[in-house]
């Protein structure tokens, strides 16, 4: 897809270049409020500057949610912490849209990549699977920008994923020639744990022949899913140690740990304690269970995310290194339809206006408090805005920076 996919006015382009210049300057001279004196300017290129800007936690309010059940009806919202508490501490965009241009889909994988890359693109499942979401981004993810600009190890850039979304395991880096696997983020999910566990069980040598064969086959099958990088699922020593502790705590069965989005919250809380991520994305997903059930699955999913948000926010407040040094960005992957004629009135594949209507909240260090912005903005503005927050240029994002967020 060409550069002009999202038509941008001359004015907007000019403004964007200006903001980018400002962001690049910020990265080189004053990284996260820290002024560098002339003699100790961080070298760009051979040795990268350490990252000392705010930590960024991106929360995908995911599985597709509508404004109706979240922000439009305050007395009846299913996300009371988000709307009545968190929103007041930050800048809420009530009219964020996913573009209605042809080819821009309102689906989980696509929305996640629009958030991560700041660009709309027509994604095709690499295996040609119908409704498959095995996509490869052509332009860098926000994680790659961070790791290319700053000295941040792989295990401190994390995506926390749902257990039955293996397609989404592979959004951790793009195919862009100047970025890609060397700057990837790491994924925490039960899929990754399973690979770790199978390898350990095989290596420990306590299996009988039948179990050995069965587990070897299962491991080979799981490893084969990760086709882009040789041995890509070999995670760094820090991540392996993380899984070792997880296994000691929850055991091998997979039945003891929390499931669904509660599991994602648990993984995130542990990761914050043990891995100290600088940038993390939690891909919540439970509201999407409405595809297979009744409406209460959907609204309960929203409440579980709301409780997760409350826990994550409390963890940040309780941790000296994160408190006053963290920005939350909370945004749905997509909306859902409003089709009263259907038994389940809110799917998200009909391309209705409602499935394009989302919202976004920025809250934390350096973010303006108590602001509600109702002008129409775009989901692809998230990545460039995060770029500005971390102080790095994002050359391939197409959405204008949301400059109201800066206090
Ligand atoms: Zn769905």
Is there a domain that residue 38 lies in? no
* pLDDT confidence of residue 136: 86
Ligand 1 centre distance from Cα of residue 45 (Å): 42
Distance CA 364, CA 382 (A): 15
Ligand 1 centre distance from Cα of residue 347 (Å): 7
Tell me the mean pLDDT in the region 30-45. 40
Residue 117's nearest CA partner among 378, 375, 371 is 378
pLDDT at residue 27 is higher than 60: no
Is there a domain that residue 207 lies in? no
Ligand 1 centre distance from Cα of residue 316 (Å): 30
Distance CA 46, CA 49 (A): 10
Is residue 28 a contact partner of residue 48, using CB atoms and an 8 Å limit? no
291 pLDDT tier (thresholds 50, 70, 90): confident
* pLDDT confidence of residue 350: 77
pLDDT at residue 305 is higher than 70: yes
Ligand 1 centre distance from Cα of residue 399 (Å): 25
pLDDT at residue 283 is higher than 60: yes
Model pLDDT for residues 148-178, shown as the tens digit of each residue: 999 999 999 999 998 777 777 788 889 899 9
Ligand 1 centre distance from Cα of residue 290 (Å): 8
* pLDDT confidence of residue 9: 42
For all residues of the chain together, what is the average pLDDT?
A: 86
Model pLDDT for residues 62-72, shown as the tens digit of each residue: 999 999 999 99
* pLDDT confidence of residue 141: 97
Instruction: Provide the domain count of the chain.
Output: 1
Ligand 1 centre distance from Cα of residue 361 (Å): 22
Tell me the mean pLDDT in the region 369-396. 97
Ligand 1 centre distance from Cα of residue 287 (Å): 8
> Whole domain around residue 135: which residue ranges?
54-190+227-405
DSSP-assigned beta bridge partners for residue 59: 282, 330
pLDDT at residue 13 is higher than 80: no
- Which residue blocks in 319-377 are alpha helix, DSSP H? 353-356
pLDDT at residue 41 is higher than 60: no
Backbone angles phi, psi at 35, to 5 degrees: -85, 135
Ligand 1 centre distance from Cα of residue 346 (Å): 10
Is residue 96 a contact partner of residue 378, using CB atoms and an 8 Å limit? yes
Is residue 311 a contact partner of residue 265, using CB atoms and an 8 Å limit? yes
Is there a domain that residue 6 lies in? no
Tell me the mean pLDDT in the region 353-359. 94
CATH number at residue 110: 3.40.720.10
User: 100 or 16: which carries more pLDDT confidence?
Assistant: 100
Ligand 1 centre distance from Cα of residue 63 (Å): 6
35 pLDDT tier (thresholds 50, 70, 90): very low
Ligand 1 centre distance from Cα of residue 108 (Å): 6
Ligand 1 centre distance from Cα of residue 35 (Å): 46
Ligand 1 centre distance from Cα of residue 118 (Å): 21
Ligand 1 centre distance from Cα of residue 116 (Å): 19
Burial track 297-336 (b if 16+ CB lie within 10 A, e otherwise):
bbbebbbbbbebbbebbebbeeeeebeebbbbbbbbbbbb
Ligand 1 centre distance from Cα of residue 65 (Å): 10
Is there a domain that residue 182 lies in? yes
Model pLDDT for residues 207-241, shown as the tens digit of each residue: 999 999 999 999 998 888 876 655 555 678 999 99
pLDDT at residue 343 is higher than 70: no
Ligand 1 centre distance from Cα of residue 294 (Å): 14
Is there a domain that residue 124 lies in? yes
Ligand 1 centre distance from Cα of residue 329 (Å): 21
Is there a domain that residue 204 lies in? no
Is residue 136 classed as helix, strand or coil in its secondary structure?
Answer: coil
Is there a domain that residue 46 lies in? no
* pLDDT confidence of residue 6: 40
Is there a domain that residue 320 lies in? yes
341 pLDDT tier (thresholds 50, 70, 90): low
């Amino acid at each position: 897809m060409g550069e002009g996919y999202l038509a941008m006015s001359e004015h907007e382009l000019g403004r964007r270049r200006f903001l980018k210049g400002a962001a690049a300057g910020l990265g080189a001279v004053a990284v996260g409020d820290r002024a560098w004196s002339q003699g100790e300017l961080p070298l760009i290129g051979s040795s990268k500057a350490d990252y000392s800007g705010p930590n960024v936690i991106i929360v995908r309010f995911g599985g597709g949610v509508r404004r109706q059940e979240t922000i439009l009806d305050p007395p009846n919202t299913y996300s009371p912490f988000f709307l009545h508490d968190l929103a007041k501490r930050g800048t809420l965009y009530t009219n964020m849209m996913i573009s209605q241009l042809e080819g821009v889909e309102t689906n989980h994988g696509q929305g996640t990549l629009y958030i991560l890359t700041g660009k709309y693109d027509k994604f095709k499942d690499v295996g040609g699977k119908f409704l498959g979401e095995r996509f490869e981004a052509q332009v860098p993810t926000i994680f790659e920008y961070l790791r290319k600009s700053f000295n941040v190890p792989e295990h401190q850039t994390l995506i926390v994923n749902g257990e039955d979304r293996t397609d989404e395991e592979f959004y951790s880096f793009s195919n862009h020639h100047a970025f890609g696997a060397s700057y990837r983020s790491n994924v925490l999910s039960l899929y990754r744990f399973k690979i770790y566990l199978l390898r350990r069980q095989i290596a420990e040598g306590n299996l009988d022949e039948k179990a050995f064969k069965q587990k070897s086959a299962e491991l080979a099958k799981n490893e084969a899913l990760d086709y882009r990088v040789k041995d890509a699922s070999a995670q760094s020593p820090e991540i392996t140690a993380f899984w070792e502790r997880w296994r000691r705590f929850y055991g091998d069965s997979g039945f003891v740990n929390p499931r669904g989005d509660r599991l994602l919250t648990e993984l995130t809380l542990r990761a914050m304690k043990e891995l100290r991520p600088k940038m993390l994305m939690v891909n919540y997903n439970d509201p999407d269970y409405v595809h297979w059930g009744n409406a209460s699955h959907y609204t309960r999913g929203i409440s579980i995310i709301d409780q997760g948000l409350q826990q994550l926010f409390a963890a940040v407040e309780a941790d000296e290194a994160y408190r006053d040094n963290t920005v939350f960005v909370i945004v749905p992957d997509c909306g859902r339809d409003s089709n009263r004629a259907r038994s389940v009135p809110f799917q998200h594949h009909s391309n209705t206006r409602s499935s394009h209507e989302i919202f976004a909240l920025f809250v934390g260090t350096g973010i303006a408090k108590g602001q509600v912005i109702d002008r129409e903005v775009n989901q692809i503005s998230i990545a460039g805005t995060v770029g500005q927050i971390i102080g790095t240029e994002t050359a391939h994002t197409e959405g204008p920076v949301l400059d109201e967020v800066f206090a």
